[in-house]
Homo-oligomer: A and B are copies of this chain.
Amino acid sequence: MKKICILIAALASGFALYAQEVRYYNAADLTVIGKAIPTSKDFTRIDTSAYRFSNEIIDDFACHSTGLAVLFATDSPFIKARWQTSPANASENMTAIAQKGLDLYIRQDGEWVFAGVGRPQMDKGPEYACHEGTIVKSMAPGRKECLLYLPLYDRLDSLFIGVAEGSCMEPLDNPFRYRIVVKGSSVTHGLAASRPGMSYAARFGRDNGFYCFNLGFSGQSKLQEEYARYLADIEDVDAFIFGAFSNPSAEVIHKNFDIFVDIIRESHPETPLIFMQTERRESRNFDTWREDFEARKQAAAEEEILERMKTDKHIYFIPSDDFLGDDHIATSDGSHPTDLGFTRMLDSISPKILKILRKYGIR
């Protein structure tokens, strides 16, 4: 009988340890970074009440939490989360973790090291938009500085971060310096990244300590004036990086490019504008129509940029020849770079962009 009592006590003690009390904090009360201009909603990257766009898709994307992250410090042995997204199903060319999930990094010896993901509960069906999970557990004692990337390709209606009752939980100052706006298409949006923190904009910022804003708009980034006006309104921009030539046709590039730059230049007269050529899509490999369309698009982009560079000394152009390698394996669907594609792209663009930024004292 005594043995049974000891066993029960041991089990209860184990259960108490396992079922350690969790206290949830509203992430909006911590440090939320990634909004180029403040918004009224907690996790929305652009305020659609202040900026009206020409179609509902752009409005929807403006409300995504793309590029946003939460900074906090805690000494909890575990980090959990409860969050709510839209009920939309995952796009077929990206993981649900990237679309609707969370991606945690912890600072270790000055570097942000991957710690764990928040997995959206897709097995409950697409109408189920409330997610809950443990991101990391069994951590050694001590204060951890945490960087939690929010869903790349969905809206985030709420987020609560759970830590052990009694452990500290405090907002962390934004450690990222300079303000670099990254505007582009689905590639910038991070469509085929495996996790929210794996978009090229997030990686470029994390790797170099820069404060990057992700303004990728999948399929909707056609050098429209409405974007240019938003970009013109952003204050204290140190550099703009553009993946601007993936969505518009050659004709649209010729029609829109100068107006787009003119509007930005009204309020950012000498800020470096770094335009990347669109990557060579793998869908060109055998599709002759796509080959022609993409080649004309790339030629139009180069023509417009080179012409503008004659009169604007703060515009730069980065060719894309080596963005994806030559083995045709770096996209998820022929268009969208995977983590492998982004790694190759960053290997190509990072030294070139860093060299440009150094000219402006950004390092």
Chain A contact residues, CB within 8 Å of chain B: 89-97, 101, 106, 113-117, 119-123, 125-126, 136-140, 144, 192, 194-195, 198, 203, 282-283, 285-290, 328-334, 338-340, 343
Contacts and interface: CB of A to CB of B under 8 A. Distances in A.
A119 B333 contact: yes
25 contacts: A89-B89, A89-B122, A89-B125, A89-B126, A90-B92, A90-B96, A90-B122, A92-B101, A92-B120, A93-B95, A93-B97, A97-B333, A114-B282, A114-B334, A116-B287, A117-B334, A119-B333, A138-B287, A138-B288, A138-B289, A138-B290, A140-B286, A140-B288, A338-B338, A338-B339
Contacts of A203: 329
Contacts of A290: 138
Given A115-B286, A338-B194, A92 B95 contact: yes
Chain A facing B: main interface SS: loop
A139 B332 contact: no
A286 B106 contact: yes
Nearest to A342: B340
Contacts of A333: 97, 117, 119, 194-195
A333 B96 CA distance: 11
Contacts of A343: 329, 340
Contacts of A94: 95
Contacts of A329: 114, 198, 203, 339, 343
Contact of A116 (B125, B334, B339): B334
A77 to B, nearest CB: 9
A122 to B, nearest CB: 5
Number of copies: 2
Given A94-B95, A97-B333, A286 B117 contact: no
B339 A113 contact: no
Nearest to A334: B116
Contacts of A117: 93, 332-334
Contacts of A138: 287-290
B287 A137 contact: yes
A273 to B, nearest CB: 29
A203 B283 CA distance: 19
Given A89-B122, A194-B192, A283 B116 contact: yes
A37 B266 CA distance: 69
A106 B328 CA distance: 12
A71 B144 CA distance: 53
- Closest 10 pairs between A and B when the two form their complex, measured CB to CB: A138-B289, A92-B96, A194-B332, A339-B340, A340-B340, A114-B328, A338-B339, A194-B338, A138-B287, A92-B122
Contact of A114 (B139, B285, B340): B285
Contacts of A115: 285-286
